[in-house]
Amino acid sequence: MTTIQILGTGCRKCAALKENAETAVKQANLQADVEKIEDINEIVKFGVMSTPALAIDGQVKFVGKIPSPEEIIQVLPQ
């Protein structure tokens, strides 16, 4: 199963990114866990210095922006 990680400290943008990720999973008909990582030490382990960020299975795909569900679908595993 795919794991999508939303990296951010809990701001409004992070919440919007999580919502877009959940929408993308539904639209792609994919089984995935969407988890939020708010611990700054964990976020730094990803090499992320700007939030929000989105990682899929531990690989960072977007940093410092809120991609649309369509953009997220493009980077999801098939």
Which residues are known to be catalytic?
11, 14
Compute the distance between CA of residue 69 and CA of residue 77 in angstroms, rounded to an integer.
14
- Asked if 56 contacts 77 with a C-beta cutoff of 8 angstroms, the reply is yes
Q: Pull the structure tokens for residue 57.
A: 């299975």
What does each C-alpha distance from 70 to 25, 27, 46, 63 come to in angstroms?
A: 10, 9, 23, 16
